[in-house]
Structure 1
Amino acid sequence: MKRKQAQAEVLLLLAALFWGVAFVPQKIAMEHIEPLAFNAWRFFLGGLLLIPIVYWLSSRRAPQLAEEIQPGEEGGARVAHSWRACLPGGAILGFWLFLGAALQQASLLYTTAGRAGFITGFYLLLVPVIGLSLGHKTNRWTWAGISLALLGLYGLADFSEESQLVGDLMVFASAFVFAVQVLSADHLVRRFDALRLACVQFLVCGLLSAVASLIIEQPTLQSAVAAAWPIAYMMIFSTAIAFTFQLLAQRHAAPSHATVIMSLEAVFALAAGWLFLNEVLSGRELLGCGLMLAGMLVSHYGNHTGTHH
């Protein structure tokens, strides 16, 4: 079991790395293509790429699949595995993903990749807060974590640069939407096949982004070709591979370890922005990042040792 847990945590670490580094191609893409058009390509192609993975994993693990993808299921309820059954739920998730991804991608026109990555991580704290309205329990650790993270967010905010502040606020709004999406997904994966839900979610998000792009933007095939490698990274590593790694790891990773590992996505985003885009943060901004990370960890430590469930 220890070996399986270690393997699961390596897969989660790789997923966090792929997602953290993803902010670099996302930022670079904005030099060549408009935000909604970029999302249309990355999510629709990523969803298509996930289809053969769905069938491959289903054929390999058919008897265990339901158990593997819903570690927290209660009551042993039957899970719907057909594409048709997963369509409504996947469409709801796709809408939230479309909204969150649109805000996040557009924010990169104004703010840096590293900052966007760190502020996006705020969704880990917003999940238990929004969960309160759904009757979920939380504890003082969550509030302590949120207080630390808000202090960090204040330190990260640059009030002297109006355009960057606009970008930061857009990322924060996207973190809120992603938190709603996570809570929706948590509810749906107890009833429907998680792999198929994800696939439908990506395809719906891609289609909604394409429609919105055609209405608001002036998308061209030339711009998509110019942004080919960022699109390729996002569809292969950030969508198909990272999501599959996360799903495969869910059964064996210790929840407390998993949360800490997933929090590292923000750190990877900051490091990648510095390494590949020469983004440098001031001492105050670095302190803000540190407080935000501490807030995420404190909150989730409390939720795994306290009375969250």
Structure 2
Amino acid sequence: MNRKQARAEILLLLAALFWGLAFVPQKIAMAHIEPLAFNAWRFILGGLVLVPLVYWLSSRRALQPGEDGGHRVNHSWRRCLPGGAVLGFWLFLGAALQQAGLLYTAAGRAGFITGFYLLLVPVIGLSLGHRTNRWTWAGIGLALVGLYWLADFSAEAQLIGDLMVFASAFVFAVQVLSADHFVRRYDALRLACIQFLVCGLLSAVASLLVEQPTLSAAADAAWPIAYMMVFSTAIAFTFQLLAQRDAAPSHATVIMSLEAVFALAAGWLLLNELLTARELVGCGLMLAGMLVSHYGNHTGTHH
């Protein structure tokens, strides 16, 4: 493993940790603020936090012109805008579904169900000509059984929340494939910044249309917004985009699957969420499915 690859995988591990822990403030925030309003605050502020970082790194790049590898033309806001807008739309849709789902389901459960996007990526990739091997299908089968065990069909409200989070996992899979396409052509930080601002603005418009957002509600949810703004949005998504260029796909998927484990641990330690034996079996099968899916897959093009 070379140094670039090792750095990329450390960045992915930190992103998985920040995202896993994020389900706790996301869940807590729902007691104070509506889902779309929460996303508007976290993504707009997260995007604005990135702006000075983009210019600082750009100034460093200007001092070291050889590092651009001849692709300096793609380090412009105008060039990155279309790709960032596409990513922002998918992020808006996925985040809205996930955040609304957390009104009805537990943080730890939501973390595991969201992790299903790692298995959906290669499935959706089939339509783009990506190859998928038998390990992927075996992993998907295991994870689907785990998802069935995790679901509680007797609790209608929780089931609705689970289904919304599952829908968000599908959207996040599309977002990952889109990011994989754009990050190889355009500046990762500018893409991240644009996608957050577009996502935040779409969330704000949607909130104004279907919710009753207030400043007092945002103030009540100040610390969850702050965590999501800095760690889950500005840092974690940026780490993902930066790492996606150099991480080995088979390693990256295993690392990202740890997000579900971090979410479960955070829900247990910080929110006193306890899972039944059946739910733990479901989580275990889903995690096994994520790992098996990429056990023999060392030639994939995405994660």
Asked if Structure 1 and Structure 2 have the same fold, meaning a TM-score greater than 0.5 normalized by the shorter chain, the answer is yes
Alignment of 1:24-103 (within 5 A): 24-61=24-61, 63=65, 80-103=74-97
Kept in 2: contact 1:139–1:308 (CA 8 A): no
Q: 1:119 to 1:249 in 2, by over 3 A?
A: same
1:21 corresponds to which letter in structure 2?
Answer: L
1:131 corresponds to which letter in structure 2?
Answer: G
Find the partner of 1:215 among 209, 212, 218. Answer: 209
Corresponding residue for 2:131?
137
Find the partner of 2:193 among 175, 195, 199. Answer: 199
Distance, in Å, in 2 between the alignment partners of 1:296 and 1:98 is 25
Q: 1:251 to 1:185 in 2, by over 3 A?
A: closer
Distance, in Å, in 1 between the alignment partners of 2:282 and 2:220 is 35
Q: 1:88 to 1:28 in 2, by over 3 A?
A: same
Distance, in Å, in 1 between the alignment partners of 2:294 and 2:108 is 22
Q: 1:126 to 1:271 in 2, by over 3 A?
A: same
Deviations 1:15-64 (A, max 9, x none): 21111000000000000000000000000000000111212223334546
Distance, in Å, in 1 between the alignment partners of 2:174 and 2:66 is 28
Where structure 2 has 5 or more consecutive residues not aligned to the other structure, the ranges are none
Q: 1:211 to 1:284 in 2, by over 3 A?
A: same
1:188 aligns to 2:182 (yes or no): yes
Give secondary structure in 2 for the equivalent of 1:59: helix
Corresponding residue for 1:268?
262
Shift, 1:245, TM fit: 3.2
1:167 corresponds to which letter in structure 2?
Answer: G
1:126 corresponds to which letter in structure 2?
Answer: L
Deviations 1:80-136 (A, max 9, x none): 211011111111111111110000000000000000011000000001101111111
Alignment of 1:204-283 (within 5 A): 204-250=198-244, 253-283=247-277
Distance, in Å, in 1 between the alignment partners of 2:202 and 2:13 is 30
1:292 aligns to 2:268 (yes or no): no
Give secondary structure in 2 for the equivalent of 1:304: coil
Shift, 1:264, TM fit: 0.5
Report percent identity of matched pairs: 86
Give secondary structure in 2 for the equivalent of 1:22: helix
Distance, in Å, in 2 between the alignment partners of 1:64 and 1:35 is 44
Shift, 1:181, TM fit: 1.0
Q: 1:197 to 1:4 in 2, by over 3 A?
A: closer
- What TM-score does the superposition give when structure 1 sets the normalisation length? 0.91
Give secondary structure in 2 for the equivalent of 1:218: coil
Corresponding residue for 1:12?
12
- What TM-score does the superposition give when structure 2 sets the normalisation length? 0.92
Q: 1:78 to 1:143 in 2, by over 3 A?
A: farther
Distance, in Å, in 2 between the alignment partners of 1:10 and 1:165 is 35
Deviations 1:184-236 (A, max 9, x none): 11122222222111111000000000000000000000000000000000000
Give secondary structure in 2 for the equivalent of 1:302: coil
